[in-house]
Structure 1
Amino acid sequence: MSATRDSLRNLRKRRIPAWWQDAKLGIFIHWTPAAVPAFAPVEDEIGDLLQSDQVNPLQYVPYTEWYENSLRFPDSPVSRHHRQTYGDRPYTEFARDWEAGLEHWDPAEWAAQFRETGARYVVLVAKHSDGYCLWPTSHPNPIRPNWHCERDVVGELAEAVRSAGMRFGLYYSGGFDWSFDSTPVGTMGDVANSVPQGEYPAYADAQVRELIDRYQPSVLWNDIAWPGDRAHLWQLLEQYYRVVPDGVINDRWIPWSPLMGLTKFAGIRRLIESGSRKQARKDGGLIPPKPPFCDYRTPEYVVFDQIQSKPWELVRGMDRSFGHNEQSTQEHFVTQDELLWQFTDVVAKGGNLLLNVGPRGVDAQIPPLQIERLSWLGEYVSAQNSALIGTRPWILAASMSTEGFEVRYTSAGGTVYALVRGVTAAGPPAKESSRTITLAEVQATPGTRVELLNGDAVSWTEAPDGLRLEFSDTLSPDQPVVFALHNVQARGSQD
């Protein structure tokens, strides 16, 4: 027990590396056999389901990568679709179609597309909850023979991503493996009750150690929980940091304990369901519980309200799913304004955005609606790089200008960046018109100067209600407007 406490104490002394805090943007990839049927209902977002009082809300989950679990509910939308489309074909047969699609896969092309977004790291799902492995593992699944890819998808993408100048990370579903546990997961109580035991903890430990030793991932991203106990988990993480000293892990590593075994009782599961529903309503969605140790937090499809003391990463898809969903149309995808502003909001609050890509399963291609959104990010990051990448939060993350425009602040060195939403959409168009933005929280100093990121000077005055900026109406209507404020201070602060 003392050794376990010492291990945890040493882990908690770690500080997250600067590369991760500087990165701001990463790409997540969910690409599993479920991308072949590519079906999930689109009516509800995950946050709404977690707050819902309906019976077994997770049978309606909008995530296609949960296809196998949804099949375990006979009347779920997925089950109805599967019967109508595939009859009694087992889920496992989709792996053959997925593997056939690899003939069309070009990892270097993917890496180039990701690099163009301005992303600094890429995280690939190596094994999701269906248990299928994207590498030729030396620890094959004892329940489903040959339930892995013979082609080294993980290794090929790792090489391509690193060759493109980005860091490479891996996701592993430690808390779920539906090949080991056939319990239908319909509620958060079921989630807690579905972490496999028996031979699974040793299997998961061996596979993750294999991933660490073979691929040295800069990010080790676990999901749901960890099936082993604390002592074995701390040993695993210590091994990871020995192999990858500047690596990082996320917050979904809550280790299994005998108390989790109590979830076999229906009353305990109901208590968990009630508590998780209340927490989701409070948080506005899915924010994982804090584990004993992690490098950063991972809210899912929900952004923290303010600057966080702990590093964090927003994880989300471009639509309501992570895996590719053929049911998603334009209306289900994030708009350009929503995507760019959410990224801005995350960065202002000290976080990173891990934006998911869900390639098709039949031909290994990234769908056009996703490519379009990657290009939007690329244009934005390229134009506003210095206000986003490598920045840190200012004293204040968010405010509203006197004129009613949303503002987010970042900082780097002695410069504060004010990123303003929707400026060029306001007011009547005029050839020589000008606009004003008044930043109530900002105060000038004798050395203050203001400019756009292209170096154009911006006129300013110190007004009673804040720092007033004047600029011509020639800015892009598709992106937030960014002002570089040199030598300013927070209003009311002392020199």
Structure 2
Amino acid sequence: MKMLPMIRHTLPRLLRLVPVGAAFLACNASAALVPDKPPQPPVRVPKTDQGVTQLSDEQMKWFLDAKFGMFIHWGLYSGPGKGEWMMHNRGISSENYRKYASPESGNDYFDAKDFHPEEWAALAREAGMKWMCLTTRHHDGFCLFDSPHPNAFTSQQTLGRDLVGEYVKAVRAAGLKVGIYYSPLSWRYPGYYDVTGQDMKPNKFGYKQDPSDKENARLMKEENYVNVKKLLTGYGKIDHIFWDGAWLAEKGSDAAGAYFHEPGKYLDPQNAWPIPAKYQDLEPGTNKPLGIMGMVRKYQPDAITNLRYGWIGDITEEEGHRETTGPIRDSFYQDKCMTLQRGAWGYDKNAQSEAKTVSADELVVYLANCAVRNMTFLLNVSPDRHGVIPKFQQQRLLQIGAWLKQTDDAFYGTRGGPWQPTDGQYGYTYKDSTVFAHLLKGYAGDSFSIPRMGRLKVVEVHDVYTGKPLAFTVRDGGITVAGIDRESSPADTVIAVVYDQPVSNVWKN
């Protein structure tokens, strides 16, 4: 803090990057260190990549408003119950893997007999989730929908059911937004090429190959185009698409995968992996192949997608159980995805316990850390082979749902800010005329100060969880709230500071 007076003219910009609540508490006596108002957030400018432009802020609004969604990893791997990477990790061939689609596999049989997607949707609503996202095909290549590709392996073949169709109908009926996950990668096509922009030659990484590998690569790419078109055109409006696995041969990156999947980056002069004309979508006027993302914009122009198919994405992803840190994501949008089950994303028979399920308090902290950074939170559940979400996971969802019923105003429809968060301690959200201060477990004490908000005047302050009013004192235009109850909601104590006009006016006055 010693250097701030030396560069007072850049103070507002700098304090957009420096946690302000802590600075205000540390130097209440020195008004010179406190800016008149928070710096204005930067303007997000949609970018264009491979001829496809990111969605506008207006198109992204529902996603940022929703904040909290349900991810579902469910597929053939749910039968043996050893995680979604079992086929790869155990070196199971495509032929042997098919047994889990047969009653002959006994207790490892993926029968989906208790799959009632309306119950999933009802649970998501109780948890306070606003959208759902189902794995329509994971890396094992098993489709939960009726793919028209002749080489596809689907639930329609094994169970006589289009599970994606049932899911979409139930989610939409529950008033939730519809999300789908799809993996371009498929272990059913072993040895397919790794292709990057730097080296278009096959087998760059020296893995074992077979003469059939070239055909496997072509078939995998062809099936992807067929599958994606079916998902985009066969189920009505799709709101969210989660790509996963554009990287090839378990090497390289999603971005490098675009050189294989997308015609706009296609560099192979011999056209080694062509898509038959009957499966291609062409751009009107130019007759150029649209590619995967071109098809998305053609058939689902408002669908929000991530960056894991080689395109830059409308959103980036943060994955896993690590704590979310850093500044507000306001010049780009980011989602955090993680799984309730500690370990695999798909059902794991050995992870069905309290200890191996993320606690409710932890979930509150994850959600709060996302919200104060203008991020969304996609939380995964792992149904078993019958289609039942495990009891410990259901309990957690009901617990966080009960908490959100008392604190929802501080999350839905808010944006991160107007001040930067302090990692592990606190952060802010705001909407309309209210700023919400989120005090996490790492913040010690029962008092908190919020800096001046330009010409905005504080009308009242209250504890969001209990609804009780809180006394505050005004100094140098900011306020200090004392006697805060840290026991009723210790994972995230939310304090609402209500002003006499919309918070956004602070950047207009």
TM-score norm. by structure 2 comes to: 0.69
Q: Quick check: 2:102–2:158 contact (8 Å CA) kept in 1?
A: no
Q: Tell which structure's C-alpha radius of gyration is larger.
A: 2
- Which of 241, 245, 261 aligns to 1:228? It is 261
Query: Equivalent residue for 2:499?
Result: 487
Query: Equivalent residue for 1:19?
Result: 62
Query: Equivalent residue for 1:273?
Result: none
Question: In structure 2, what is the Cα distance between the partners aligned to 1:469 and 1:381?
Answer: 23
Structure holding more helix per residue: 1
Q: Quick check: 2:55–2:304 contact (8 Å CA) kept in 1?
A: no
1:297–1:19: structure 2 CA closer, same or farther, 3 Å change rule?
A: same
Query: Equivalent residue for 1:248?
Result: 304
1:314 matched to 2:336: yes
Query: Equivalent residue for 2:460?
Result: 449
Q: Tell me how many residue pairs correspond in the alignment.
A: 398
Query: Equivalent residue for 2:250?
Result: none
Q: For structure 1, which segment, 411-420 or 5-14, has the greater mean C-alpha deviation from structure 2 after superposition?
A: 5-14
- Which of 327, 333, 342 aligns to 2:357? It is 333
Q: Report deviation, 1:416.
A: 0.7
Query: Equivalent residue for 2:401?
Result: 378
Q: Report deviation, 1:143.
A: 8.3
Query: Equivalent residue for 1:91?
Result: 97
Question: In structure 2, what is the Cα distance between the partners aligned to 1:251 and 1:374?
Answer: 28
1:119 matched to 2:129: yes
Q: Quick check: 2:132–2:177 contact (8 Å CA) kept in 1?
A: yes
1:213–1:331: structure 2 CA closer, same or farther, 3 Å change rule?
A: same
1:240 aligned counterpart, secondary structure: helix
Percent sequence identity over aligned pairs: 24
1:197–1:391: structure 2 CA closer, same or farther, 3 Å change rule?
A: same
Q: Report deviation, 1:137.
A: 1.7
Query: Equivalent residue for 1:61?
Result: none
- Which of 165, 173, 197 aligns to 2:175? It is 165
1:300-449 matches, cutoff 5 A: 300-301=319-320, 302=322, 303-308=324-329, 309-318=331-340, 319-328=342-351, 329-361=353-385, 363-399=386-422, 406-422=425-441, 436-439=446-449, 441=451, 446-449=457-460
Amino acid across the alignment from 2:339: G
- Which of 295, 303, 306 aligns to 1:239? It is 295
1:14–1:487: structure 2 CA closer, same or farther, 3 Å change rule?
A: closer
Q: Deviations over 1:163-195 (max 9, x none)?
A: 111011111101x2000125899xx9799x999
Q: Deviations over 1:125-164 (max 9, x none)?
A: 0111110010122214268998765301101111111111
Query: Equivalent residue for 1:264?
Result: none
Amino acid across the alignment from 1:237: M
Query: Equivalent residue for 2:318?
Result: 299
Question: In structure 1, what is the Cα distance between the partners aligned to 2:449 and 2:484?
Answer: 17
Q: For structure 1, which segment, 329-338 or 28-37, has the greater mean C-alpha deviation from structure 2 after superposition?
A: 329-338
1:29 matched to 2:64: no
**Residue segments in structure 1 that go unaligned for 5+ positions in a row:** 40-63, 74-78, 80-88, 255-290, 427-434
2:149 aligned counterpart, secondary structure: coil
Q: Report deviation, 1:414.
A: 2.4
TM-score norm. by structure 1 comes to: 0.71
Q: Quick check: 2:339–2:345 contact (8 Å CA) kept in 1?
A: yes
Question: In structure 2, what is the Cα distance between the partners aligned to 1:373 and 1:27?
Answer: 13
Question: In structure 1, what is the Cα distance between the partners aligned to 2:89 and 2:451?
Answer: 49
Q: Deviations over 1:372-416 (max 9, x none)?
A: 11112211221111100111011324238xxxx922210112211
1:124 aligned counterpart, secondary structure: strand
Q: For structure 1, which segment, 195-204 or 440-449, has the greater mean C-alpha deviation from structure 2 after superposition?
A: 440-449
Query: Equivalent residue for 1:261?
Result: none
Query: Equivalent residue for 2:17?
Result: none
1:165-204 matches, cutoff 5 A: 165-174=175-184, 176-181=185-190, 197-204=217-224
Q: Report deviation, 1:448.
A: 4.0
Question: In structure 2, what is the Cα distance between the partners aligned to 1:493 and 1:23?
Answer: 25
**Residue segments in structure 2 that go unaligned for 5+ positions in a row:** 1-46, 195-203, 247-256, 265-279, 281-288
Q: Quick check: 2:142–2:153 contact (8 Å CA) kept in 1?
A: no
Q: Quick check: 2:111–2:159 contact (8 Å CA) kept in 1?
A: no
